Structure 1
Amino acid sequence: MNGVKSSVAVNQHSCHVRNGSITEGRQKEVISPEDINRGILPDTTAPVSSRMQELLEGLNEPGDCGNPIEPPSWLDRQLFNRGRDFYHRYLFCMSFSEVLALVFMLSMMRALRPLMYTGRSDSPRKALRRYFSTFQHVTAWHEGDVWDPADRAHKDLLSVRAIHNRLSGVFNSSKEHDRVWNTKIQDKGHEEPACPFYHTIREDLKDQAGDGLPLEGPDNPPFFISQWDMSLTQYQFMGLVVAHPHKMGAGAATDEDLEGLVHFWRGLGWLLGVDDKYNFCRGSLAEVRSLCLEVERLVGIPALAKADWNYEHMTLSLVTGLSHLMHTLSFEAGFRYVAYTLDLDIPNFISRMSMQGTIKYWLMRFAIGLLYYFPGLVIRLSRMLRVATAVFQKRYANGMNERGGSKTGELYPVTTPFTY
């Protein structure tokens, strides 16, 4: 997008604020334990928090603010490493939550349309290759030392940051912006089937979602890969675990563990170019948890209630592809688990589920429930996931390269909040 177009978008968003869609001066509310377990805000009709207002100011700010690669003054190395250790021990839970976050947040058009436009994840095979690469990125970041310039993890993270900048320039250019924003999955040859699920999703959620926040519209086009988008990327990687630890299999984690996870992603956000003002993980555990729940209620769920064939096809491709690694995954089971996590009532969707989808959903519930009573299992499951992914990488790497995948050792970018 050119500079004039960007400034217009900024001014239009400011009008949203002045017209009262966003109430100023609201203090951060601390969510009660009961509401945390239910996954809801105490008053879903309340104005947005001051912290959310702050994040919204980044809607039209470029995603890389130019942070230096040196550690910021607020970095607590001990707490950061505690987050790395948590990620290592709870890798199974983190991976599970990241997949569910995609099922949830792919409904956001400002994130989904660039994915459709690039055409690199609109089939199960392509989606598997793309999101498996994302897994490799994040694994490298928590297993290496991102603060050491000589470490592979540091170099990999900075390469992702550079790719973000390049893609932002492409998507926001005067030549490509309108094409990206107006793309549809039918343009890629994926016609809508006779009985899709998205009509059912809309029917179930129409009275539970609300209007949501006015993030973009015909007269207020999005700035792709903005500070806001990068902030939601952080939510996608840690938000469900922080806001709903029991439902993600991390019920045995302590507050200190989760504080480490939050600080870990605050540090990664800094290195990816997220201004600390817009860093989703800035603040105490209670504040970040409240922000997670607020994003879910005021951004994610309203977007999900407007699901269409674009969302359903891309999510179906994602989950079908990843089911080669996590065999209990399916679109039906994954969506129902998201609804369970967010305390959403979806009777019509459940009535349409296949027997196989229902069985997979209850297998998820059973497995995650076991982790609460037998927390030692999560270490074994995380180890099994590492072995499975190593086998997968070795088995399919050459085939991917032959079919036009990445060169050996080259990974796809982790972007906002998904991979393009």
Structure 2
Amino acid sequence: MRAKREHIDDVQPATVDKHFDALINDEETIDYDPSEDLTPTDFPEWYDEKLFKAGKDYYDSNMVGLTAASLAGLISVLSIPTILKVLIYTKQSGTSCTAFKRYFETILHSRAWYMDDATTKGSDWFRSLNVVRWKHMISSRRSFRDGFGGIMQRDMAYTQFGFLGYVLIEPEYLGLTNTPEEREGINHFWRVLGHMLGISDRLNICRKTEAETTQLCRRLRTEVFAKYFKELPPNFLHMAEVMVDGLWVIDTTLNTDTVFAVAYRLNGLTYHKPLSTWSWLNLKYRELIYTLLGSSIFGPVLRVYFKHLLAFQYWMTLNFPVVAWIRYGKEESKINPYPKFK
């Protein structure tokens, strides 16, 4: 069990503006012992079980919207040069096959965080956190050793934005249910999760209220992500395109230009590349789904339908990834989200 820390409210900058300044100026790298397994005793003292559950329930009710937001977030964090540099160094997502495995495992881990038991030692919730923490720390140490720089606390916070930011900023576009209680719940959920994943409490983008977190996320979108999207770093397009190509194995309706158009839209920008007829239809199909999910008439039924559809897609890809077998071969298609690391 780790020593108790100060309350997060006492550690975080006093205002949103000071928090933003602290984030963009921080140069600290992650630093923890990856051999120490997290258990329920490691939850912070400020953990609120009711709010945490409300955050998990928000995902359960809005899987499509949160999945779309996360995909756009994964694309967006590739625009951060320091994040992209470490990802290229690891050589684990630079081809369609490696991207398929890396990002499908990311999907499985995020689903474990949202859906699995967080109260029992050794549950998939804790197994996932421990594997992710170990992978982050090992990759950071190796990257730093070889002159590419380690994983920065700032970049961990930017990645946290990738999962949460668009959920708070663009709930109407994504068709989310979006009640005040749900927003406070998802804010607290990611506040706790960020803490458990090793993000410093000082930089954790989730503040004491979702309103403050949303305000911070708006600044991050405008002054960080939109800025980098206007001047994309070298290798961004390749890494983003192979990501979408790898995820196509899970959802064969995915289209690269459509995914890019949504990511640009969520960053408050326009994707200027002319869309083919198929890409335009694909985009309008997805936006129609988001609109219907947000309606009081069709939303409840569609949310249940897509919840089960996503579960089936992920189960098939994990157990019988026929498309991956055809594209990459059986051996190269094996997924192991919980490898032994000790």
Q: TM-score range by the shorter chain?
A: 0.7 to 0.9
2:282 maps to 1:360: yes
Matching residue within 296, 303, 306 for 1:378 = 303
Structure 2 distance, partners of 1:319, 1:345, is 19
- Count of residues in correspondence between the two structures: 319
| Structure (1/2) with the larger helix percentage | 2
Q: Report what 1:59 is aligned to.
A: 27
Q: Which has the larger radius of gyration?
A: 1
2:200 maps to 1:278: no
- SS of equivalent residue, structure 1 residue 281: coil
Change (3 A) 1:331 1:147: same
2:56 maps to 1:90: no
Contact 1:90 1:379 in 2 (8 A): no
- SS of equivalent residue, structure 1 residue 172: helix
Residue 300 of structure 1 and its aligned partner are, at CA, apart by 0.6
Change (3 A) 1:104 1:165: closer
Q: What does 1:40-189 align with in structure 2 at a 5 Å threshold?
A: 49-62=17-30, 64=32, 70-173=42-145, 176-177=146-147, 180=148
Change (3 A) 1:120 1:50: same
Deviations 1:286-314 (A, max 9, x none): 11101111111111111111125511111
Matching residue within 147, 152, 156 for 1:230 = 156
**Quick one: which amino acid aligns to residue 267 of structure 1?**
V
Residue 100 of structure 1 and its aligned partner are, at CA, apart by 1.1
Matching residue within 167, 190, 195 for 1:241 = 167
Structure 1 distance, partners of 2:126, 2:227, is 36
Structure 1 distance, partners of 2:14, 2:231, is 28
Unaligned segments of structure 2, at least 5 residues: 1-12
Deviations 1:97-125 (A, max 9, x none): 11111222211111112222222222223
Structure 2 distance, partners of 1:64, 1:304, is 32
Structure 2 distance, partners of 1:305, 1:26, is 31
Q: Report what 2:7 is aligned to.
A: none
Q: What does 1:7-26 align with in structure 2 at a 5 Å threshold?
A: none
Structure 2 distance, partners of 1:26, 1:236, is 23
Residue 55 of structure 1 and its aligned partner are, at CA, apart by 2.3
Unaligned segments of structure 1, at least 5 residues: 1-24, 29-48, 181-222, 414-420
Change (3 A) 1:277 1:309: closer
Change (3 A) 1:409 1:108: closer
- SS of equivalent residue, structure 1 residue 343: coil
Deviations 1:303-359 (A, max 9, x none): 11112551111111111222233344222111212232333244x42xx22221111
- SS of equivalent residue, structure 1 residue 257: helix
Q: Report what 2:5 is aligned to.
A: none
- SS of equivalent residue, structure 1 residue 392: helix
Q: What does 1:311-350 align with in structure 2 at a 5 Å threshold?
A: 311-346=236-271, 348-349=272-273
Change (3 A) 1:155 1:357: same
2:331 maps to 1:403: yes
**Quick one: which amino acid aligns to residue 410 of structure 1?**
Y
Residue 74 of structure 1 and its aligned partner are, at CA, apart by 0.9
Higher relative contact order (CA 8 A, sep 6+): 1
Change (3 A) 1:357 1:161: same
Change (3 A) 1:166 1:65: closer
Residue 406 of structure 1 and its aligned partner are, at CA, apart by 5.5
Residue 161 of structure 1 and its aligned partner are, at CA, apart by 1.0
Q: Pairwise CA RMSD of aligned residues? A: 2.7
Change (3 A) 1:411 1:363: farther
Structure 1 distance, partners of 2:193, 2:140, is 19
Structure 2 length-normalised TM: 0.85
**Quick one: which amino acid aligns to residue 90 of structure 2?**
T
Q: Report what 1:211 is aligned to.
A: none
Contact 2:79 2:236 in 1 (8 A): yes
Structure 2 distance, partners of 1:26, 1:404, is 49
**Quick one: which amino acid aligns to residue 173 of structure 2?**
K
Structure 1 distance, partners of 2:165, 2:127, is 25
Structure 1 length-normalised TM: 0.70
| Percent of aligned pairs sharing the same letter | 25
**Quick one: which amino acid aligns to residue 128 of structure 1?**
F
**Quick one: which amino acid aligns to residue 121 of structure 2?**
P
Structure 2 distance, partners of 1:92, 1:244, is 14
Q: What does 1:281-292 align with in structure 2 at a 5 Å threshold?
A: 281-292=206-217
